[in-house]
Copies of this chain bind each other. A is one copy, B any other.
């Protein structure tokens, strides 16, 4: 993997770049749709390409449990298994182990947990997590980390960070090869810990650096204070990935702070119950006011959904719980984010990112006035 920094905005920390992998290249800043179980929910690979998606994220935890990493390995790796020949980033599974499995024990050696599917017991080490991702044959691998809740005591955050750093060292010692591996910075909202995280991980010379442990309930401004503080320590020539972040507002604020990569399941999740992004803010299409509305989801959008379907029909489909409704809204939300990041890249290259962001935010009235993650 190679990261090429293309342009730095003259008045913000925003930057454009390009990431090259053996399975294809993509421009940054980039939003990566989440394909938790080996499929971006409701989408086909062809639709993702049509939207302009060049990299997706898959969840190691989910695929490890089902269908099982040995199955995927036997069938020639994840790309072949899911019919997606382009870059895939796999997370380490750490976040899921700490959130949706029944965690049994975090040891210095690794993590013991019970499957959320069938209750079976599993023990995973940093080395095993690398092995699984190598078997999946993903293009960018993430190391095992421990994510803290918010709020958390300094002592607990420090313990989790120490474990995360130790696991990162072991991961790096275990594998340093052709495949890209990203380190994950933890440390909660404690600047001192974030600084240590950055210094220790940079020492290990990862191919990229992820900021983890945010979007777990902390206030919006505090989140961006941590991001801004952390980014100053990260090397200019390596990609920076803000994990689990994804509203349009957060993406633009993140880009302004110099973030290159984003992923979030929220845009596809809220789509399935009828919430869509538009250039005028967030809309829930189930609202009675759209009952006989002939306009597209977003009159400013030129995606497949907006070119072919009315709000009235999509509203009907979502109320009737029809799969096509979820397909159309998901398609639109992913297109919106692809469009947003593309426009952001163009603005950066014209050294106009700040005014671009302000212009977008001016219209995003609804986004500004609501708890964006709380849908």
Contact = CB atoms under 8 A, between A and B. Distances in A.
Interface stretch (A122-130, A148-156, A312-320, A336-344): A312-320
Contact of A312 (B71, B292, B313): B71
A66 interface: yes
Nearest to A38: B316
A37 B320 CA distance: 7
Interface in A293-347: 294, 308-310, 312-313, 315-317, 319-320, 322-327
A323 to B, nearest CB: 4
A269 interface: no
A52 to B, nearest CB: 19
Nearest to A71: B292
Interface in A188-225: none
Contacts of A43: 324
Contacts of A294: 75
A67 interface: yes
B42 A291 contact: no
B83 A312 contact: no
Interface residues of A, number: 34
Q: Chain copies in the assembly?
A: 2
Contact of A75 (B37, B312, B322): B312
Given A44-B327, A292-B74, A66 B320 contact: yes
Q: What are the 5 A-B residue pairs with the smallest beta carbon separation, nearest first?
A: A67-B316, A42-B323, A39-B324, A37-B320, A39-B322
Interface of A: 37-39, 41-44, 66-67, 71, 74-75, 81-83, 291-292, 294, 308-310, 312-313, 315-317, 319-320, 322-327
A235 to B, nearest CB: 38
Contacts of A41: 322-324
A308 to B, nearest CB: 5
A315 B313 CA distance: 31
A51 to B, nearest CB: 14
Interface centre among A38, A308, A320, A325, by most chain B C-beta atoms within 10 angstroms, is: A320
A178 to B, nearest CB: 26
Given A75-B292, A82-B313, A291-B67, A327 B322 contact: no
Interface centre among A74, A313, A317, by most chain B C-beta atoms within 10 angstroms, is: A313
A258 to B, nearest CB: 35
A82 B322 CA distance: 12
A119 to B, nearest CB: 16
Given A322-B37, A324-B43, A327-B323, A309 B83 contact: yes
